[in-house]
Chain A
Amino acid sequence: MLKWFNNPATETQVTHGQRLWLYIVAVIIMILLVTPTLIVVPMSFSDSQYLEFPPENWSTRWYDFYFGSDEWMLATWTSVKAAFLTMLVATPIGVLAAYGLHASKVKFVRAAFVLMLTPMMVPVVLIAIGAFYAYVQLGILYTITGLVLAHTVLALPLVIIVTGSALQGYDMSQEEAARSLGAPRWKAFLTVTLPQIRFAVVTSALLSFLTSFDEVVVAMFVSGGDNPTLTRNMFNALRDQIDPTIASISTIMILVTTFMMVLAQMFGQEKKKPK
């Protein structure tokens, strides 16, 4: 062990001992990155009105309250519905767009690509109040349709970036081969191209789901009435006081996102192995 301290750690012969400070700093930062979120999990099982760690008495009362509350259940249901629909709309539309932009070599592809990325660049508050105004005119304020449309727009750049970069690594001449053997373009796409970019497509779908599920600002403006989202209600609750129910909801949300991302990682990883 002591010898390890004197071993060179870098190409410039700095030893591990000399870099001990870096290791300590890095480990502290990593702990600070992870613990604040995870500490909410044990806290949510506390019996007390005041969130304590470690909890003196364990209980599931905040979960019971959450699952027993019509208001929270309605919000959860809205969020899940909106996230699923956003995934179902954004993925095909985004994949089509990514494919179209990749395969077509017209002059304005670059401009179209920039336009597709605008939802990432325009401050989300601006998108939110713009959509709010538009929805009042269209009469779709506080509807799932409106919410899904806005969330789809937010998710599209992610789908286009993820799928687009997969297409960049894909050899389009395979599709040409299929077409020269008589397959129409759509069939060549579905049977030759799509199976090879399927991991990117699945990742895009999961990211679309999460984009909608976690979104706060747009939901604050265009969801409400009979269709408030979970995040909207959480945000409003946070502005008033520290409600322990939020800790239990947070725990559930951490579970959902982790589950989705583990799925995405599993699909993403597989891509690298064969080939």
Chain B
Amino acid sequence: MQTVRINQSGLRTDERLERLKLFGLSSPALLMILVILVLPVGWLFYVSFIGANGEFSLENYERMISRKSYARIFWTTFQVSFLTTGLCILIGYPLAYFLSQLPPRLANLGLITVLLPFWTSLLVRTYAWLVLLQKQGLVNDWAISLGLWDEPIKMVHNMTGTLIGMVHIMLPFLILPVYGAMRSIDLDLMKAASNLGANPRRAFWNVFFPLTMPGLMAGALMVFILCLGFFVTPAVLGGGKVIMVSMQIVSNIELFVNWGAASALGVVLLVLTVAILWIASRFLNLEQMTGGGGH
């Protein structure tokens, strides 16, 4: 009896050691993330509370509240993020629906049109829109020759250009999870709805649409969060007229070498992102998001 108990406890210690050893396999990755990401970001957090005189102060945060220019930057950031997310839903949902109704082989072919821009470098796509939307660009040329408008319209280096580029870049992040949700719906439910007297429109809105909500929410959340911290596309297509938080952070470092101001903005951006993710995680299964977005 005695020996059995000793063996058991010995085995348990062995098992615990084994688990820890296995966990140790992930230590190189953890260490790298810690040193390259967590510690420096922690340092930025610290710096954001240091004032110009080198002592603890909230002036970096106060500046954000007192200065009008900062309010405008946050407003622009939210505006761009909301509009991009909304447009992505309006454009992406019908396409995902169309693809989900096709036979799988055809649908895979159609999905290539979503994946091809997804793979292509962000910078290349932004450049392409810059070329297409400029005053002597293709879009103006064609629209004028078709008689849609008479004078070249300024479509780049402003909000319009930024939104066009952002929507194009974010669409795959919305379409893929929505498509996944639609594919997993049992279409017999639609037959059942019809059978019970719902007209097609009612069957769609009362049965199909609610079932796609998890995918739609995950996709929209992904797009919104990516938009909040986006830099490249607004910097190029906005032409200095659309200033988002991330761009202000960069110019605070590059132009003004003001680490305190940049860090405080960064902390606010991070806190916003984490808060949105945290709230969303109470309602959504976030694993769906990483599964859909990171292919």
Residues on A facing B (Cβ under 8 Å) = 9-14, 22-23, 25-26, 29-30, 32-34, 36-37, 39-40, 43, 50-51, 53, 93-94, 96-101, 103-106, 108-109, 112, 115-127, 129-134, 149-150, 152-153, 156-158, 160-162, 165, 210, 213-214, 216-217, 220-221, 231, 234-235, 238-239, 242, 246-247, 250, 253-254, 257-258, 260-261
Contact = CB atoms under 8 A, between A and B. Distances in A.
Contacts of B211: none
A242 B138 CA distance: 14
Nearest to B131: A51
Contact of A100 (B22, B36, B200): B22
Contacts, number: 264
A234 B52 CA distance: 35
A23 B98 contact: yes
Contacts of A210: 119
A34 B119 CA distance: 11
B231 A100 contact: no
Main secondary structure of the interface of A (DSSP, over half): helix
Nearest to A30: B113
A134 B95 contact: no
B283 interface: no
B122 A116 contact: no
Contacts of A122: 37, 41, 270, 273
Contacts of B199: 12
A37 B98 contact: no
A117 B290 contact: yes
A93 B29 contact: yes
Contacts of A33: 113-114, 116-117, 168, 171
Interface residues of B, number: 89
A57 to B, nearest CB: 17
Interface of B: 19-30, 32-33, 35-41, 43-44, 91, 94-95, 97-99, 101, 110, 113-117, 119-132, 134, 136, 138, 168, 171, 187-188, 190-191, 193-194, 198-200, 203-204, 225, 228-229, 231-232, 235-236, 246, 249-250, 253, 259, 262-263, 266, 269-270, 273-274, 277, 290-291, 294
B219 to A, nearest CB: 15
A253 B123 CA distance: 10
Nearest to A103: B22
B25 to A, nearest CB: 3
B131 A43 contact: yes
A261 B228 CA distance: 28
24 contacts: A12-B191, A23-B98, A33-B168, A43-B131, A50-B136, A96-B25, A97-B29, A100-B24, A100-B27, A103-B25, A104-B21, A116-B29, A116-B30, A120-B290, A123-B266, A125-B231, A125-B269, A130-B43, A134-B35, A153-B36, A217-B231, A238-B130, A242-B134, A257-B120
A171 B221 CA distance: 33
B130 A37 contact: no
Given A116-B33, A123-B228, A242-B131, A11 B188 contact: yes
A219 to B, nearest CB: 10
Given A25-B94, A29-B94, A126-B270, 17 more contacts: A12-B193, A25-B95, A33-B117, A36-B129, A36-B132, A99-B22, A115-B38, A120-B294, A121-B273, A123-B229, A125-B269, A127-B37, A133-B44, A165-B291, A235-B123, A235-B235, A242-B130
A160 B32 CA distance: 14
A28 B59 CA distance: 51
B24 to A, nearest CB: 7
Nearest to B194: A12
